[in-house]
Amino acid sequence: MSCLKCLKYTMCLVNFIFFICGAAVFGIGIYLMTSTRFSSILPSLQAMNIANTLFIIGIIITCVSFLGFLGALKENRCLLISFFILLFILMLAELAAACVLLMYERQIEKFIDEDLKSGLQKSINDRKNVTDTDDWDTVQLTFQCCGIHNSSDWLNNVPKSCNNPGNGTRYWPKGCFKKLQDAFENNLLNAGIGVIVVCIIEVLGMCFSMTLFCHISRSGLGYK
């Protein structure tokens, strides 16, 4: 019985921490949506700009962790099984996305390259002057790149985020597509470890919730 209580309160604590983190990500997404102008880098994924992505991730983390926290605290079978199902679906979605990335790497690179061109052209058309900012500026400042392949992609409307103060050249020499590729390849091991860690956390969450679920069923407490 003491082990089950320890399991219950451990699950409550972990889910409470995730709830706070999810709420913080959710808040950052709302702040960015209300304070910054965004244009889609990938027009085919128009809704998935930085602000919307943080907003959606925050909602998912907050809702799932709230179910786990309340289900463990109240020992509610409905909430615990809902928590288990949501974690299982999330894990399947992550594994499916990883498999798709590995199987269709070349096709995805070609699609991203073409979509980046459409997104950059849209950004050029939307900008009134080089001082306007959007998602492109965030990417270029973060990765110290300019355009898709180089600064010529911006034609005569090169934004200030392309400026390279570190040497004699005016703009960052590398394009963002190459920089993003390099960043992905250099952090492939870390990304793989991150995915494994997330999956382990999800599996542990499912095991904890199912253990509590079975204990409540054997206790005859039913659906409260």
CB 149 within 8 A of CB 162: no
Q: What is the pLDDT of residues 133-162, one digit of tens each?
A: 777 888 888 888 898 888 888 888 888 888
pLDDT less than 50: residues of the chain: 222-224
- Which distant-in-sequence residues (6+ apart) come within 8 Å of 88 by Cβ? 202, 206
Q: Which helix (H) or strand (E) holds 66?
A: helix 50-74
CB 193 within 8 A of CB 201: no
Judged by phi (left if over 0) then psi (alpha if -120 to 50, else beta), residue 183 lies in alpha
* Residue at token pair 């809702």: 63
Tell me the helices (H) and strands (E) count for the chain, helix number first: 7, 0
Domains and CATH numbers, the chain: 1-90+203-224 (no CATH), 104-186 (1.10.1450.10)
Q: Which helix (H) or strand (E) holds 138?
A: helix 135-143
* Residue at token pair 């939307």: 126
Cα–chain-centroid distance for residue 64? 15
Q: Would you state the structure tokens that stand for residue 164, as one six-digit string? A: 């390279």
Cα–chain-centroid distance for residue 95? 15
Q: What is the pLDDT of residues 20-38, one digit of tens each?
A: 999 999 998 888 777 655 5
